[in-house]
Amino acid sequence: MELVALSAAQNPENYPTHTLDHLVDEEHGIRVPVTRITLDDSPDGRPNPPVTVYRTAGPGCDPTHGLPPLRAAWIADRGDVDTYAGRVRDLQDDGRSAVRRGTASEEWSGAARPPVRARAGRTVTQMHYARRGIVTPEMRFVALREGCDVELIRSEVAAGRAIIPANVNHPEAEPMIIGRAFTVKVNANIGNSAVTSSIREEVAKLEWATRWGADTVMDLSTGDDIHTTREWILRNSPVPIGTVPIYQALEKVGGDHQALTWEVFRDTVIEQCEQGVDYMTIHAGVLLRYVPLTAGRVTGIVSRGGSIIAGWCLGHHRENFLYEHFDELCEIFARYDVAFSLGDGLRPGSLADANDAAQFAELDTLAELTRRAWEHDVQVMVEGPGHVPFHLVRENVERQQELCDGAPFYTLGPLVTDIAPGYDHITSAIGATEIARYGTAMLCYVTPKEHLGLPDRDDVKTGVITYKIAAHAADVAKGHPGARDRDDALSKARFEFRWRDQFGLSLDPATAEAFHDETLPAEPAKTAHFCSMCGPKFCSMRISQDIRDTFGDADEQERVAGMAAKSDEFRRLGGTVYLPDPATSRR
Amino acid sequence: MELVALSAAQNPENYPTHTLDHLVDEEHGIRVPVTRITLDDSPDGRPNPPVTVYRTAGPGCDPTHGLPPLRAAWIADRGDVDTYAGRVRDLQDDGRSAVRRGTASEEWSGAARPPVRARAGRTVTQMHYARRGIVTPEMRFVALREGCDVELIRSEVAAGRAIIPANVNHPEAEPMIIGRAFTVKVNANIGNSAVTSSIREEVAKLEWATRWGADTVMDLSTGDDIHTTREWILRNSPVPIGTVPIYQALEKVGGDHQALTWEVFRDTVIEQCEQGVDYMTIHAGVLLRYVPLTAGRVTGIVSRGGSIIAGWCLGHHRENFLYEHFDELCEIFARYDVAFSLGDGLRPGSLADANDAAQFAELDTLAELTRRAWEHDVQVMVEGPGHVPFHLVRENVERQQELCDGAPFYTLGPLVTDIAPGYDHITSAIGATEIARYGTAMLCYVTPKEHLGLPDRDDVKTGVITYKIAAHAADVAKGHPGARDRDDALSKARFEFRWRDQFGLSLDPATAEAFHDETLPAEPAKTAHFCSMCGPKFCSMRISQDIRDTFGDADEQERVAGMAAKSDEFRRLGGTVYLPDPATSRR
């Protein structure tokens, strides 16, 4: 498979200030890749230390071969999983076109490892280990990555307040953690639909998303080649992969949601567990009795999974089979370390429907399911809205955190207005910052194409960068340790007219540089003490620096200001040298 | 002068669902232009009422002629202004190039009216009338526009909690109001610099900005032809125009801020009063003794006006001449009805400097100046930051509102992170929504080019739309009457697959339509009950509608769900028809 080559200028990893570096835990042989941004000296000759930033791009690889299995030895060393034959390849997994053709569009031809799962009676989840006081290499990796003590990682995972999504069949992924005590994470959705896209494009979007900083990626494919697209994505993904298995299950029954059964769903979940999916959205909170609560809404049910389940429940006059078989799902997930992403199938799809009875009824059930999963030592996060007016955003996360005993919240935006299709990355980043500030652990990005079409690669980039802004702004607002370092380094570079450093420290160096160069393209402008916004005479930072150069630091400026105040007073009093005694002059 | 033609598709006013309409006050002969968005019927045949939205684009005109003087008769009818000769045209007003050439680049050749000012001893500000209980046509226009009682307008203006910027020499402008009791407004900055741009481009940016919804425009030109560029802009502007007169004053003294004098500044202010500038940024709060407070900052002083004044104060060992002559400025502004925009010359330029001693010291002085201006019946708003971490944003507006007795707050963003140059329209829209939610009355937009270069026309559009999102989201969050109507109409259209209505109701109809058409271009797709995001099988809204069609409204769905629950219970109990008596079966 040929992938579109990324131009050097468009690849942030290739920016001249950037180098790949590693944080190293020698004792345990763990190396965490990071991006080191090298900075120039200040004009006064003092050096500026490099800034090291979190890196999600992975080591890179030929996409036809896939990434090396970073975690394979760690998993094997625990001695609690067995290799087994796995499900038999079924062309039906890739849809009717594949059955017709006798093959998927582009079969995966890279590394193929037999699946593993927990030995009978064992549980292999990070939560299970954490609760038993076992510190795994995954936890050490994450501790280095977050810059915190590994005990904080272990205890938060043990308490259910954080998850490390890490299917034993996705050893390529670099461990990461999702929880309110850690940096806010960003998920990027990719995936084809019946109307558009190819495997090649989806793998390119994955690579693109992780280069710009996506912490996890969800493959939401609903079109052809679902199984094979997912295989390509998993084998190439350095970040955890999430899915919504009901989409594939629905494909398997020809798109007729009334034909769905627990058996088809269960088989699909196992298929995806064996491939290595790290977390799955399960709409087990859409209960039959909640569906009528949506009947008076402006936009009904806008979750695809939610609407499928709601239709099934009413059509069958039955309770949601995901709810009824939830413990069985827990048993499966415990054998692969798949995390639940408890779907908010009844989330609001418009401001008008926000924080309503249907939404909060489902949340009550998600809280119950969180506790049931924890009884199996299965990791859980809880999904949240959606579309919510700005003043109602905070209630969502505070209610979820309280009801779900601090299980990580994972929200889509929320969008704070419905009037800007084409700009919903922005409408939702506003709500995302607010909801993350109050404790949401991961934000699902929204691209400019939301509500209008599937994102292309540019949209993926815009969506990821917009959400890195929201996540970072929330980290700063939460006072997360060190969160402001990069801001401060960039601001210092700005004040000192170190243009290259400003570009290098920004989320999108090449774009920042290109915008600068549009009006001042010449190379000397890169060292100019002004820019095209103000020109040299009006550059406030230059004047501000001149003030410091001329009048010194705060103490010296105080002295000048003090003298001046005296002189002003002198003039005001008419310039007389001998003043009347204030005590007597009152007469 | 030839202006770049706007393509029909790029002009929101030309979108097929849009028509120009008017709100009419027959009794007083006042007509307020609005945009009427016509909607299709719902699938069940029920009509959807049109949605009427606030319109800032003005009546349009040949830019070489300028707009008709809408307010001329209202001003004349009050009988309190006189025409006078005005300042003599001085080529120095347009800078050294104009002096060299003997003319500005493109002299204004349209309507030229002699300036007017208050008869000696009279005050012609809207605040002055309001305090005397006089209801002006401007107030009636604004009341229709805001959809509120005119007494609310009068009383808020009288109290200083709102301003109607309306220089008697800018009769072309359609009156609007800035105050926390009303819809949040958006300002767009345009203007050339020594490095770029032409008069033609600036007039095009003005037209562009008001088409997309800018409520006021600031002309921040610092390059050649300052006077003439402003004349073109004022004569073509349907919205109030703001300036920062110190920029032109600095040009007049050859760019050497030490050479600035009160006399040059005063002459520049009068020049701009006579042209019709509606509000002026005056950095009178930068006191000598505050300057040393900025010496330890990461980014010093980032306001151009602030740095110029700070340098002047220290260089002259004198107090800020704007502070010393503030009452004289009030007397001038009272004769033209120019509003103060009290500049925040010491605003933070980075997260690191936010909410510091320098910033809040200046705010104390701005509060003092607000009261001094009110003693002259001069309208005032107060400018705010800047760069502020998200959790510190709210303090800015609450402190300003308290100290300044509710005078309108007018803020630039604020940006909630410094790490995203190229995306600062987004970083700042997040802060803008937060600050507007708590009472900021007007938001100054930030474009993607902020910190990097001057915005071009596309940047102006992106900046305005981004800030319309922030302002609208804040209106909704504040519970402003009717603010959510457009959201609800769009959401209903979305649920009913009325694609054209969705596009028409959005802030940028052509872009929304283009994004949709990228993946589903055919005309039938405009009536399709799905889109390319999910395809037909996975369309949650379609499934959700099917549920309603099949199972009816909430009551009917309840009945189905209730029956189902019974049936579930039956199955759970083993399908036996005769149940044991619960009271006895406990054994």
Tell me the CATH number at B140.
Answer: 3.20.20.540
Tell whether B553 is within 8 A of chain A (Cβ): yes
Q: How much of chain B, in percent, has pLDDT values that exceed 70?
A: 91
Q: Yes or no: say if A410 and A215 are a contact pair by the CB < 8 Å rule.
A: no
Does the pLDDT of residue A447 top 60, yes or no? yes
**Tens-digit pLDDT profile for residues B65-86:** 999 999 999 999 999 999 999 9
Asked if the Cβ–Cβ distance from A433 to B196 is below 8 Å, we say no
Is residue A18 classed as helix, strand or coil in its secondary structure? strand
Say if B214 falls within a structural domain: yes
The pLDDT, as a whole number, for residue A446 is 97
A289 vs B422: CB contact, 8 Å cut-off? Answer: no
Regarding whether B399 and B547 lie in a shared domain, the answer is: no
Q: Does residue B193 surpass a pLDDT of 90? A: no
Residues A553 and A429 in one domain: no
The minimum CA-CA distance between B514 and chain A, rounded to whole Å, is 9
Q: Given B413, B446, B477, which residue is the final one in a domain?
A: B477
CA distance B453 to A531: 7
- Euclidean distance between the first and final Cα of chain B, in Å? 97
Confidence at B580, pLDDT banded by 50, 70, 90: very low
CA distance A473 to chain B (A): 6
How do residues A311-336 score in pLDDT, each as one tens digit? 999 999 899 999 999 999 999 999 99
How confident is the model at residue A501, as a pLDDT? 96
Q: Which residue carries 């002004």 as its tokens?
A: A530
The 3 state secondary structure assigned to A322-378 is: HHHCHHHHHHHHHHHCCEEEECCCCCCCCHHHCCCHHHHHHHHHHHHHHHHHHHCCC
Tell me, yes or no, whether A580 and A458 share the same domain. no
Give the per-residue SS3 of A149-163: CHHHHHHHHHHCCEE
Q: Assess if residue B18 is contained within a domain.
A: no
Contacts of B576 (CB under 8 A, 6+ apart): none
The candidate with the shortest Cα–Cα distance to B180, out of B221, B152, B209, is B152
Q: What CA–CA distances, in Å, run from B51 to A85, A182, B147, B240, B483?
A: 62, 45, 14, 26, 12
Average pLDDT, whole number, for chain B?
Answer: 91
Write down the pLDDT at residue B519.
Answer: 76
At which of A458, A477, A496 does a domain end? A477
The count of structural domains within chain A is 2
Chain A contact present for B289, CB below 8 A: yes
Average pLDDT over residues A482-486: 97
Amino acid A520: pLDDT:
73
A348 touches chain B (CB under 8 A): no
Q: Locate tokens 């793998």: which residue?
A: A203
Query: Nearest-CA residue of chain A relative to B425?
Result: A426
Is residue B4 scored above 60 in pLDDT? no
| Alpha helix positions (H), A213-324 | 226-236, 245-252, 262-275, 304-316, 321-324
Nearest to B83 by CA among B169, B173, B165: B169
**pLDDT level of residue B487 (50, 70, 90 thresholds):** very high
The average pLDDT across B146-159 equals 98
Residue of chain B nearest A352, judged by CA positions: B488
Q: Between chains, do A195 and B247 touch, taking CB under 8 Å as contact?
A: no
Residues A421 and A547 in one domain: no
- The stretch B174-184 carries a mean pLDDT of 98
pLDDT at A532: 66
pLDDT of the residue at A536: 67
Residues B87-111 have pLDDT tens digits of: 988 888 998 888 888 888 888 999 8
pLDDT at B525: 63
- The stretch A159-186 carries a mean pLDDT of 98
Q: Is the pLDDT of residue B5 over 90?
A: no
Q: Are residues B472 and B539 in the same domain?
A: no
In this structure, the answer to whether residues A464 and A361 fall within a common structural domain is yes
Cβ–Cβ contact B375 with A under 8 A: no
Tell whether A464 and A540 lie within a shared domain: no
pTM for this one?
0.94
User: Would you say residue A6 lies in a domain?
Assistant: no
As a whole number, the mean pLDDT across chain A is: 91
Q: Which range is least confidently modeled, A52-61, A157-166, A187-196, B290-299?
A: A187-196
Instruction: Assess if residue A510 is contained within a domain.
Output: no
Q: Cα–Cα distance between A169 and A338 in angstroms, integer? A: 10
- What is the mean pLDDT of the segment spanning B387-410? 98
- Lowest model confidence (mean pLDDT) among A519-533, B130-144, B273-287: A519-533
Domain stop point among A477, A496, A511: A477
The mean pLDDT value for A57-80 works out to: 96
CA distance B354 to B297: 10
Which SS3 state, helix, strand or coil, does residue B162 take?
strand
Q: What is the pLDDT, as a whole number, of residue A162? A: 98
Partner residue opposite A516 with nearest CB, options B310, B453, B563? B453
pLDDT band at B6 (very low <50, low <70, confident <90, very high): very low
Cα dist from A332 to A266, A271, A325, A339, whole Å: 9, 11, 11, 11
What confidence score (pLDDT) does residue B385 get?
96
**Two tokens at A190?**
């990719």
* Rounded Cα–Cα distance for residues B217 and A408 (Å): 44
pLDDT (0 to 100) of residue B583: 40
User: Are residues A437 and A564 both part of a single domain?
Assistant: no
Report if residue B544 sits inside a domain: yes
Q: Which residue range is the domain that position B96 belongs to?
A: 71-477
Residue A193 has pLDDT above 90, yes or no: no
Question: pLDDT digits over B491-533, tens only?
Answer: 999 999 999 999 999 999 999 999 998 877 666 666 666 666 6
What is the average pLDDT across A471-492?
97
Note which residues in 475-494 of chain A have CB less than 8 A from chain B: 476-479, 484, 486-488, 490-492, 494
- Residue A487 confidence (pLDDT): 98
Whether A248 and A333 share a structural domain: yes
Position A569 scores a pLDDT of 61
Give residue for tokens 């006050």.
Answer: B25
Torsion A518-A520-A525-A528 (CA) sign: negative
Reported as a pLDDT band with limits 50, 70 and 90, residue B10 is low
Query: CB contact, 8 Å: B258 with chain A?
Result: no
Look up the ipTM and state it: 0.94
What pLDDT, in 10s, does the model give residues B254-301?
A: 989 899 999 999 999 999 999 999 999 999 999 999 999 999 999 999
Flag whether residue B105 sits within 8 Å of chain A, measured between CB atoms: no
Asked if A310 and B544 come within 8 Å (Cβ–Cβ), the reply is yes
pLDDT at A126: 98
In a domain, B14, yes or no: no
A416 lies within 8 A of chain B by CB: yes
pLDDT of residue A561: 81
Q: Inform me whether the pLDDT recorded for B347 exceeds 50.
A: yes
- The residue of chain B with its CA nearest to that of A417 is B473
Q: A329 in a domain, yes or no?
A: yes
The 10 Å Cβ neighbour count of residue A553 is 11
Which residue, A582, A80, A300, A231, is CA-closest to B550? A300
Tell me what pLDDT residue A534 has. Answer: 67
pLDDT of residue B101: 87
Residue written as token pair 């009472």: B439
Is the model's pLDDT at B574 over the cut of 60?
Answer: no
Q: How many CB atoms lie within 10 A of CB A65?
A: 12
How close is the nearest chain B Cα to the Cα of A56, in Å? Answer: 17
Task: For residue range A276-304, list pLDDT tens digits in order.
Answer: 999 999 999 999 999 999 999 999 999 99
Q: Torsion-angle region of residue A131: left (phi > 0), alpha (psi -120 to 50) or beta? A: alpha
Say whether both B256 and B388 belong to one domain.
Answer: yes
Please state the length of chain B. 587
Indicate if B567 and B435 belong to the same structural domain: no
Beta-carbon separation of A427 and B473 below 8 A:
yes
* Residue B345 in marked binding region: yes
Please measure the distance between the N-terminal and C-terminal CA atoms of chain A and give it in whole angstroms. 97
Alpha-carbon distance of B481 to A86, in angstroms, equals 60
Chain B neighbors of A515, CB-CB under 8 A:
421-422, 448-449, 452-453
pLDDT at A575: 47
- What pLDDT score was predicted for residue A531? 65
Q: What residues of chain A, 7 to 46, have a C-beta less than 8 Å from chain B?
A: none
Q: Which chain A residues are closer than 8 Å to B243 by Cβ?
A: none
Average pLDDT score over residue span B465-484: 97
Closest by alpha carbon to B142, among B239, B12, B233? B239
Which residues share a beta bridge with A217? A188, A241
Asked if residue A556 and residue A425 are part of one domain, the reply reads: no
Model pLDDT, residue B206: 95
Do the Cβ atoms of B568 and A314 come within 8 Å?
A: no
Cα–Cα distance measured from residue A568 to residue A325, given in angstroms and rounded to the nearest whole number: 83
Domain-embedded: residue B503: no
pLDDT band at B578 (very low <50, low <70, confident <90, very high): very low
Q: Would you state the structure tokens that stand for residue B409, as one six-digit string?
A: 């707050």
